[in-house]
Amino acid sequence: MKNKNFNQEIVWLLNEKYGGQLTDKAKKDITCLQKGRPVDYVIGYKNFLGCKIDLRHKPLIPREETEFWVQKAIENSSGEVSGIVFKVLDMFAGSGCCGIAVLKHIPHSRCDFVDVDDDCLKQVRLNLKINGLDKKRYRVTKSDVFSGVKGKYDLILANPPYIAFSQKAKVQKPVLDFEPKGALFARNNGLYFIDKFLQGAKNYLTPEGVIYLEFGYNQKKDIEKMLKKSGWQNYVFNKDQFGKWRYLKIFNF
């Protein structure tokens, strides 16, 4: 299976980056694949809901599970009244893929991108430029969760680090070796940032605002306790396209 997947990655690499040609540079990239580097990093970008997400600053690689729920968020928000600014917050922005997809598909949206990592902020700015988005429609802010955030939002998207350190042995080796650990792991059995987010989010949500929060498949029960502790009453847990618990939708009404 590994050889089959590796061969598929080579084909993908050659087609995406080299027009199907096995050039000298392509051979060097294949060597990188052999050493375990994720194919998306070697290619240099990832497609995400019709957006080109550059990865040169090595943010977390966008996952198809994330793409699934962001698509749901866009579909459920696209009926908002045009002409009225639809305010969005992309928390733990990473590459910026979630907020950029919203900006692309909801014309009257405006998005604030927030992350604590300087390289991620560089990556977000670059991806906004690559996707040709108007500077008037976004703001990029360095913030430790809500510490640097002001205002209220109609839609908050959050994909925090949520893997417990105790689960490290179950994480694939290429992910551990190459992707940013700060975007993967969290204290308190993976729940530290989720708890901190849930405690503060209500202060930044409009009266009828909605939150989409990604979490680990085995964290549903613990998050339910956090929701009650934080005073949230209207929420729905949802599964991803693979049938695993993956994202939470919270309503502020």
Total domain count for the chain?
2
97 with 170, same domain: the answer is: yes
**In terms of DSSP H, where are the helices of 83-171?**
97-105, 118-130
Residue 92 in any domain: the answer is yes
Whether the predicted pLDDT of 218 surpasses 60:
yes
> Measuring CA to CA, how many Å separate 109 from each of 92, 101, 121, 248?
19, 11, 20, 22
pTM recorded for the entire structure: 0.93
109 with 160, same domain: the answer is: yes
Residue 202 in any domain: the answer is yes
69 with 178, same domain: the answer is: yes
Residue 50 in any domain: the answer is no
Residue 52 in any domain: the answer is no
CA contacts within 13 A on the Cβ side of 180 = 20
The string of pLDDT tens digits covering residues 123-165 is: 999 999 999 999 999 999 999 999 999 999 999 999 999 999 9
64 with 23, same domain: the answer is: no
Which region among 30-34, 77-81, 208-212, 236-240 has the lowest average model confidence (pLDDT)?
A: 77-81
Whether the predicted pLDDT of 80 surpasses 70:
no
> Measuring CA to CA, how many Å separate 182 from each of 3, 28, 94, 186?
30, 29, 10, 8
CATH of the domain at 174: 3.40.50.150
| In contact, 152 and 85? CB cutoff 8 Å | no
Whether the predicted pLDDT of 82 surpasses 70:
no
89 with 37, same domain: the answer is: no
* pLDDT score recorded for residue 1: 44
69 with 104, same domain: the answer is: yes
The string of pLDDT tens digits covering residues 86-116 is: 999 999 999 999 999 999 999 999 999 999 9
Residue 31 in any domain: the answer is yes
Alpha carbon of residue 3 to chain centroid: 29
Residue 178 in any domain: the answer is yes
* pLDDT score recorded for residue 4: 65
Q: Which domain holds residue 213?
A: 57-251
